[in-house]
A and B are shown apart, each in its own frame.
Chain A
Amino acid sequence: MDFESLSGDLHRLKDLALAEVAKAADPAALDQLQIKYLGKKGEITAVLRGIGALPPHDRPRVGAVANDIGEAVKTALAERGFELRSIVQAQRLAAEMVDVTLPGRTVPRGTLHPIPETVAAIAEVFGQFGFVVYEGPEVEDDLTNFQMLNIALDHPARDLWDTLYVDVPGHLLRTHTSPGQIRVMQSTRPPIRALLPGRCFRYEAVDASHGFEFFQVEGLMVDEGTSMADLKGLLDEFAHALFGPRRTRFRPGYYPFTEPSVAFDVECVVCGGVGCPACSKSGWMTILGAGMVHPVVLQYGGIDPELYQGFAFGMGVERISNLRHAVPDLRYYLENDLRFLEQFR
């Protein structure tokens, strides 16, 4: 064995290896070639094993040739590997092409019912003015629902509230959220700014504009100098928040539990005040009733009407929702037809 023959073997191996690498069709074949030529038992390695038979001065020379050839094969393997991976990836990507114009996968999304949503919208506005939410019982006692609100047993105004009674003595289904005023006053001291949302009941046949179950939001503010002007300012803000910039007006109303009492009107949301069937040609829509808390009611709440005064207001949630969403029929709310609910998605 001499340097020339060994070197010649290595060069032949190199040519052979490069030719095979160039022909390799996939990464697995490259792996085989790697082992075949460069592995521990590989052919180049085997050639180098013969290096011991050479005279000592030739050994480094052969080592250098072998290294060069080994590097050349490695490089060829790497280059061919990169080439092959690019081809494979390009083929895969080509195979993965989709029709991007197909519709997307629907993300499930439920809807929120307009009644609690409207309550939340109302609470949000008054919350900004420091009104905190309380809740009272729906099965209420007669005393709190009527008598403590200055509606005695034989008060002619009782006709305003057709009542559903229950088989619990002295109790009824609350006809309004107003009894909450009494409960708040009895449980807390002024300054009071309270909001009382909830379900109410009346003996009323069901049609497009009536129902025996409905929702109200009551407001109550009591302090030393809380006045009608405060009520007016606050309700203006509320109307603007929910219905946009519109004219508003107070007109005298009547409730046994407020004195003075007012009705709060906003410019018709349909015609803008010109007059249309929706507003009975008046140009106005009444959105709530309000007034200064009657001294008798303050007293039942344990508050001295000489020291404190305040206002209360009450509104129908469905009424507010109807005006905001143009809901044509009150029955939609408790029927829960998905074709209605899904419009609020």
Chain B
Amino acid sequence: MRVPLSWLREYVDVQLSPEQLAERLTLLGMEVQGIERWGADWRSVVVGELLTVEKHPYADRLQLTTVTVGSGEPLHIVCGAHNIAPGQRVPVALPGAVLPGDRRIERTEKMGIASEGMLCSGDELHITSDAEGILILPPATALGRDLSELYGDVVLDVDVKPNRGDALCLVGLAREVAAATSATIRWPEIAVEEAGGPVSDHLKVEVREPELCTRFVGRWVSGAKIGPSPDWAQMRLQAAGMRPVSNVVDASNYVMLELGKPTHTFNGAAVHDGTIIVRRATAGERVETLDHVERELTTDTLIIADPRGPIGIAGIMGGFDSEITNATTEIAIESAVFDPVSIRRTGHRYALRSEASLRFEKGQEFRLARIGADRVAQLTLAWAGGALSKGRVDTAPTEPPSARLAFRPARVSRLLGAEISVDEQRSLLRRVGVETEPAPSGARIQVSAAPQPLVVDPGAEQALVAVVPTWRRDLAIEADLAEEIARVRGYETTPAHLPDTLMPAYRPSPLLVREVIRATLAGAGLSEVVTHALVSPLDEARLLWPEDESEPALPASLAAQTGDEIAVTNPLSVEHSVLRRHLAASLLDVLSLNERQGRPDVAIFEIGKRYARVDGRPREWTRLAVLLTGAAEPAAWNRAARPYDLDDAKGVLELLYRRVGMPEPSYVPDPRGFPFHPGRALLARAESGGEAVAGRVAELHPDAVAAWDLRAQRVIVAEVAIAGLDVAGPMRVHVEPIPRFPEVERDLAVIVAESRSAVEVRRTIERHGGVLLRRVRLFDLYRGAPLAAGEKSLAYRLVLGARDRTLTEAEVEGAIEAARKGLQKELGAHLRT
């Protein structure tokens, strides 16, 4: 809301500087977001008096003038307007002047005659909307004065919160200024002179939807003359951000800004039979609104109609056919109260939000319907003349009394954590117009309102009754009064201390496992990224990442196998219109961006969510994704770069499993092909104490890399389900006593068919090695002569030991022999010696 201070001062005295006032209002909850110097963009525009006005000798539409600005030689100025005459005082832009829009005025020549400046129209100065004529100033305006000194203003931009519809007007903000400064407020003098017959001679109103239009007040003015409103009024509207239109329309807008009461004025002659009907539209009805758009109405739209059909959408916008035009003489004034929800829905339905609907949506003070009608009538008479018919049409003339709200001062103090005496609370409330009185016996406290109303008996606690001003529709419960007391008193008076109450029980943080993983991976050289959860549906089609395995770390009920995509129904763009079902594509996007920046070596990870719909319900799982490409070790002065490969990703995975207290994962090849390299994809899994972690590691298929327009040779991607992992669980690590007896190492070289996987060989050794076998580690892999084609040799180092003795050679040999036999029997292996 734009608040010209000169206008505000009409209702309240302001002693403070604009900056001080802005701070006080902000601290009262009316945040001033900007202070604008209105007129600061008129530079070197001064008041002049026309001495002579003559026809331009060479151009019919131009006039030659001489103008004095009080000192110096008279100026010769060529002017295109025709509303000027000698003796008038006018704004003169001197050579070198600057007008709004950074328009510079210089000495020029117009049709052969020099012009030493320019006479200004109201439009050129952004003071009025008149672009045709020169702005004629009052005769007493001081000659030579700078226009910005005379008409300049300071405009505050106030952010009025949605619950304070009452403050969306000058009077409302004047009330806040009064509360902040203890000044008194001056209500505008509203008095009308009625003449002619009763209003019922001209206007009948029938409200068919009293729920949606709780009050309709009508007034009628006959014989008005449409023209511009007074310059001062136009200036105020302009400064407040509203374009002046004509005297009658301006009167309506002026009242909206002054009192917060939207009204509408109709061309009375266009209201058929002088009858206004407030009803819902019928199917197929149409109306052309003031913005020249023909709109088809839905049956839940509340309209203003005459017996022939719609003449406006209630509370939103009037109809074109009943618009005030220059020929209009009969004025019908509508000042109504509409249901806020209905207005809001209608505004959304037609994508039409106006200054009026904005105010209706926030609810209206009931009595303003009457006051607003009178005020518009008063200004119409003053600015457009005519005669006001006697009385008002009023569909609900009984105005409800002020609401009474009981509260407990002790509860206010408890809520704020500050001891505020009863007397102080009463005087603070008085500053916002809330009078208080002792609560009668049986008074009940409104602790909570709809939709969860809670009313309690104050019991032995002292209670007061607050008499809530009719405009403060937001004050409904005890806590609302606490806020009034707090904000008027000023939050700087609220003490600050640390809570000294009971602490909650311990609860392990879900962030902990992520912190462990983040620290581990960053330490391993990977950089963390955070990407969008909303992705393009094309990403899935492009990458064809497989349906995810279950999330074994979660209880079975949450560990869904698959799920459908969840899509946004009102996306901003297709690129971000579905919730991702895996993270890999997001990391490819990051790689793509960095490749374009000349960064081909990328090692990144993200801990984020994937989303899917399972059995019709949305589900979310936290996952870890890793992407490695380019150089694992960049080239340096003394060595070549080493590219990332599958083993790096597996190493990262193994490190991670170790770090979260899981055993080393076992790998199963995943030969699915696209989007993976058919020979370089695997599933990893580890289990421990009822928890399991599943992951996938793969080098991307070259076609998948190409589909992402990447230059990278090899891209390794991993995704691991980490939802539900608990690294904080007590007793994660069990220490094995350090062996007191020496361990024995034996190497075993196993020759197997190429089709046998390393994990099979290792498992077989472990299974047959017996209790003395402590560890098995692969240390060599060999293919080629003297091995046959299709064979490979895997060399393992076996570590054996016992807790209570040094092993004998026979024991060691026995264990090795058992492993050897198992390998031969189960895998057809033979052993190299």
A residues whose Cβ falls under 8 Å from a Cβ of B = 102-103, 105-106, 108-113, 115-116, 119-120, 123, 127, 129-130, 132-135, 137-139, 147, 152, 154-157, 159-160, 164-168, 171, 173, 188, 191-194, 197, 199, 201, 203-206, 212-213, 221, 223-230, 232-234, 236-237, 249-254, 256, 259-263, 280, 282, 292, 294-296, 298-300, 305-306, 309, 333-339, 341-342
Seed contacts A213-B532, A249-B492, A252-B483; 5 additional CB < 8 Å A-B pairs: A110-B521, A110-B603, A166-B568, A252-B27, A306-B454
Q: In the complex, what residues of B have CB within 8 A of residue A120's CB?
A: 511, 515
A207 and B292 CA atoms in complex are apart in Å by 33
Give A284 Cβ to nearest chain B Cβ, in Å.
9
Q: In the complex, what residues of B have CB within 8 A of residue A139's CB?
A: 566, 579, 611, 618, 620
User: Helix, strand, loop or mixed for chain B's interface?
Assistant: mixed
Q: Could you mark each residue 548-584 of chain B with 1 if its beta carbon is under 8 Å from any beta carbon of chain A, else 0? A: 0000000000000000001111111000100100000
Check B29 against A138 for contact (C-beta < 8 Å): no
A296 and B480 CA atoms in complex are apart in Å by 12
Q: Which among B341, B483, B507 has the highest number of chain A CB atoms within 10 Å?
A: B483
* CB nearest to A114 among chain B residues: B530
Check A336 against B514 for contact (C-beta < 8 Å): no
Give the bracket for the number of chain B residues in contact with chain A.
35 or more
Check B533 against A164 for contact (C-beta < 8 Å): no
Q: In the complex, what residues of B have CB within 8 A of residue A305's CB?
A: 447-448, 454
A333 and B606 CA atoms in complex are apart in Å by 13
Q: Which among A129, A157, A160, A212 has the highest number of chain B CB atoms within 10 Å?
A: A212
Check B504 against A192 for contact (C-beta < 8 Å): yes
Indicate whether A228 sits within 8 Å of B594 (C-beta atoms), given known contacts A129-B498, A133-B509.
no
18 A-B pairs with C-beta separation under 8 A: A116-B530, A138-B609, A156-B162, A165-B569, A166-B569, A188-B504, A191-B504, A192-B504, A226-B499, A227-B418, A228-B486, A230-B499, A252-B28, A253-B29, A260-B415, A280-B34, A282-B26, A336-B531
Q: In the complex, what residues of B have CB within 8 A of residue A112's CB?
A: 518-519, 522, 528
In the complex, whether B479 has a CB less than 8 A from a CB of chain A is yes
In the complex, whether B494 has a CB less than 8 A from a CB of chain A is yes
A160 and B472 CA atoms in complex are apart in Å by 21
Q: In the complex, what residues of B have CB within 8 A of residue A133's CB?
A: 507, 509-511
Q: In the complex, what residues of B have CB within 8 A of residue A295's CB?
A: 447-448, 452, 454, 477, 479
Q: In the complex, what residues of A have CB within 8 A of residue B638's CB?
A: 102
Check B579 against A336 for contact (C-beta < 8 Å): no
Q: Could you mark each residue 443-484 of chain B with 1 if its beta carbon is under 8 Å from any beta carbon of chain A, else 0? A: 000011101101010000000000000000000010110110
Q: In the complex, what residues of B have CB within 8 A of residue A224's CB?
A: 501
Q: Could you mark each residue 723-766 of chain B with 1 if its beta carbon is under 8 Å from any beta carbon of chain A, else 0? A: 00000000000000000000000000000000000000000000
Q: In the complex, what residues of B have CB within 8 A of residue A102's CB?
A: 637-638
Give B153 Cβ to nearest chain A Cβ, in Å.
19
* CB nearest to A259 among chain B residues: B479
A182 and B173 CA atoms in complex are apart in Å by 35
Q: In the complex, what residues of A have CB within 8 A of residue B448's CB?
A: 294-296, 298-299, 305
Check A233 against B496 for contact (C-beta < 8 Å): yes
Q: In the complex, what residues of A have CB within 8 A of residue B576's CB?
A: 212-213
Check B494 against A228 for contact (C-beta < 8 Å): yes
In the complex, whether B163 has a CB less than 8 A from a CB of chain A is yes
In the complex, whether B526 has a CB less than 8 A from a CB of chain A is yes
Residues of B612-652 at the interface with A, using a CB-CB cut-off of 8 Å, are 613, 616-618, 620, 632-634, 636-638
Check B502 against A254 for contact (C-beta < 8 Å): no
Q: In the complex, what residues of B have CB within 8 A of residue A115's CB?
A: 530
Give A276 Cβ to nearest chain B Cβ, in Å.
15
Q: In the complex, what residues of A have CB within 8 A of residue B414's CB?
A: 225, 227, 309
3 tightest Cβ-Cβ pairs between the two chains A and B: A229-B417, A108-B525, A227-B417
Q: Which among B165, B525, B602, B633 has the highest number of chain A CB atoms within 10 Å?
A: B525
Q: Which among A260, A292, A296 has the highest number of chain B CB atoms within 10 Å?
A: A260
Q: In the complex, what residues of B have CB within 8 A of residue A237's CB?
A: 498
* CB nearest to A300 among chain B residues: B452
Check A252 against B491 for contact (C-beta < 8 Å): yes
Residues of B16-35 at the interface with A, using a CB-CB cut-off of 8 Å, are 26-29, 31, 33-34
* CB nearest to B448 among chain A residues: A295
Check A123 against B416 for contact (C-beta < 8 Å): no
Check A336 against B521 for contact (C-beta < 8 Å): no
A103 and B341 CA atoms in complex are apart in Å by 71
A130 and B504 CA atoms in complex are apart in Å by 7
Indicate whether A232 sits within 8 Å of B528 (C-beta atoms), given known contacts A112-B518, A156-B344, A157-B162.
no
Check B502 against A191 for contact (C-beta < 8 Å): yes
CB contacts between A and B, total, < 8 Å = 290
In the complex, whether B689 has a CB less than 8 A from a CB of chain A is no
Query: Which one, B418, B503, B599, B618, contacts A338 given CB within 8 A?
Result: B599
Indicate whether A111 sits within 8 Å of B454 (C-beta atoms), given known contacts A213-B534, A229-B496, A237-B498.
no
Check B503 against A191 for contact (C-beta < 8 Å): yes
Q: In the complex, what residues of A have CB within 8 A of residue B632's CB?
A: 108
Residues of B340-380 at the interface with A, using a CB-CB cut-off of 8 Å, are 340-341, 344-345, 361-362
Q: In the complex, what residues of A have CB within 8 A of residue B163's CB?
A: 156-157, 254, 256
Q: In the complex, what residues of A have CB within 8 A of residue B707's CB?
A: none
Indicate whether A337 sits within 8 Å of B527 (C-beta atoms), given known contacts A234-B499, A254-B161.
no
Check A138 against B611 for contact (C-beta < 8 Å): yes
Give A158 Cβ to nearest chain B Cβ, in Å.
9
Indicate whether A227 sits within 8 Å of B590 (C-beta atoms), given known contacts A119-B511, A250-B491, A336-B604.
no
Indicate whether A292 sits within 8 Å of B415 (C-beta atoms), given known contacts A103-B637, A259-B477.
yes
Check B483 against A260 for contact (C-beta < 8 Å): yes
Q: In the complex, what residues of A have CB within 8 A of residue B568's CB?
A: 164-167, 173
Q: Which among A103, A113, A155 has the highest number of chain B CB atoms within 10 Å?
A: A113
A239 and B344 CA atoms in complex are apart in Å by 39
Q: Which among A230, A252, A280 has the highest number of chain B CB atoms within 10 Å?
A: A252
In the complex, whether B404 has a CB less than 8 A from a CB of chain A is no
Indicate whether A111 sits within 8 Å of B497 (C-beta atoms), given known contacts A106-B636, A116-B607, A260-B487.
no
Check B511 against A254 for contact (C-beta < 8 Å): no
A171 and B494 CA atoms in complex are apart in Å by 40
Q: In the complex, what residues of A have CB within 8 A of residue B502's CB?
A: 191, 223
A259 and B485 CA atoms in complex are apart in Å by 12
Query: Which one, A108, A253, A259, A300, contacts B524 given CB within 8 A?
Result: A108
Check B483 against A113 for contact (C-beta < 8 Å): no
Q: Could you mark each residue 223-265 of chain B with 1 if its beta carbon is under 8 Å from any beta carbon of chain A, else 0? A: 0000000000000000000000000000000000000000000
A120 and B163 CA atoms in complex are apart in Å by 35
Indicate whether A333 sits within 8 Å of B603 (C-beta atoms), given known contacts A120-B515, A168-B617.
no
In the complex, whether B593 has a CB less than 8 A from a CB of chain A is yes
Check A168 against B479 for contact (C-beta < 8 Å): no
Q: Which among A103, A112, A259 has the highest number of chain B CB atoms within 10 Å?
A: A259
Q: In the complex, what residues of B have CB within 8 A of residue A256's CB?
A: 163
Q: Could you mark each residue 148-166 of chain B with 1 if its beta carbon is under 8 Å from any beta carbon of chain A, else 0? A: 0000000000000111110
Check A306 against B447 for contact (C-beta < 8 Å): yes
Check A129 against B499 for contact (C-beta < 8 Å): yes
A106 and B639 CA atoms in complex are apart in Å by 12
A262 and B487 CA atoms in complex are apart in Å by 9
Indicate whether A229 sits within 8 Å of B34 (C-beta atoms), given known contacts A164-B570, A337-B597.
no
* CB nearest to A250 among chain B residues: B491
Indicate whether A167 sits within 8 Å of B566 (C-beta atoms), given known contacts A137-B620, A306-B454.
yes
Check B579 against A105 for contact (C-beta < 8 Å): no
* CB nearest to B638 among chain A residues: A102
Query: Which one, B515, B521, B594, B634, contacts A337 given CB within 8 A?
Result: B594
A221 and B502 CA atoms in complex are apart in Å by 11
Q: In the complex, what residues of A have CB within 8 A of residue B605's CB?
A: 110
Check A251 against B29 for contact (C-beta < 8 Å): yes
A53 and B392 CA atoms in complex are apart in Å by 159
A187 and B359 CA atoms in complex are apart in Å by 40
In the complex, whether B523 has a CB less than 8 A from a CB of chain A is yes
In the complex, whether B495 has a CB less than 8 A from a CB of chain A is yes
Give A311 Cβ to nearest chain B Cβ, in Å.
10
Give B643 Cβ to nearest chain A Cβ, in Å.
14
